[in-house]
Amino acid sequence: MSEFNRGRRTVPGADTLGSSWWWDRIAQGVVFLGGISAIVFIVAIFIFVAQQGLGFAIFELDKGVFLTSPEWRPTTEPEPVFGGLALIVGTASVTGLAMLVAVPFSLGAAIFIGEFATGRAREYLKVLVELLAAIPSVVWGFIGLTVVNPLIIDLFNVPVGLTILNAGVILGLMAAPIMTTIAEDALKAVPDSYREAAEALGATRWQVIRQVVLPSAKNGLVAAILLGVGRGFGETMAVLMASGHSVNLPTSPFDSVRALTATIAAELGETARGSEHYKALFSIGILLFLVTFTINLLADVAVRGRRKRR
Partner 1 sequence: MVETPLLERPKKLTVENLSILYGDQVALNDISLDIRENEIFGIIGPANSGKTSFLRAINRMDEMSDDMLVRGKVALDGCDVRSWRNVYALRSRIGVVFPLPVGLPLTIYENVALSPRLRGVRNKVELDEIVERCLSRAALWDEVKDRLDSLGSLLSGGQQQRLTIARALSQEPDVLLLDEFSIAVDPVTTMRIEDVLKELREEMTIVLVTNLVQQARRLADRTAFFLGGELVEVGMTEDLFRRQVKDQRTTDYLEGRFG
Binding site for partner 1 (CB under 8 A): 118-119, 190, 193-204, 207, 211-212, 215-216, 309-310
DSSP string covering 148-178, please?
IHHHHHHHHT-S---SHHHHHHHHHHHHHHH
The minimum distance between CB 243 and partner 1, in angstroms, equals 42
Report the SS3 class of residue 73: strand
User: Which residue, 133 or 203, is less far from partner 1 as judged by CB?
Assistant: 203
The minimum distance between CB 299 and partner 1, in angstroms, equals 20
The secondary structure of residue 72, as a DSSP letter, is: E
User: Which residue, 63 or 307, is less far from partner 1 as judged by CB?
Assistant: 307
User: Which residue, 18 or 215, is less far from partner 1 as judged by CB?
Assistant: 215
The minimum distance between CB 190 and partner 1, in angstroms, equals 8
Amino acid at 211: Q
Nearest to 262 by CA among 283, 233, 228: 233
User: Which residue, 223 or 260, is less far from partner 1 as judged by CB?
Assistant: 223
User: Which residue, 201 or 249, is less far from partner 1 as judged by CB?
Assistant: 201
Based on its alpha-carbon atoms, the radius of gyration of the chain, rounded to whole angstroms, reads 26
CA distances, 299 to each of 176, 190, 214, 222 (Å): 16, 18, 17, 7
HSE (side-chain half, CA atoms, 13 Å) at 146: 6
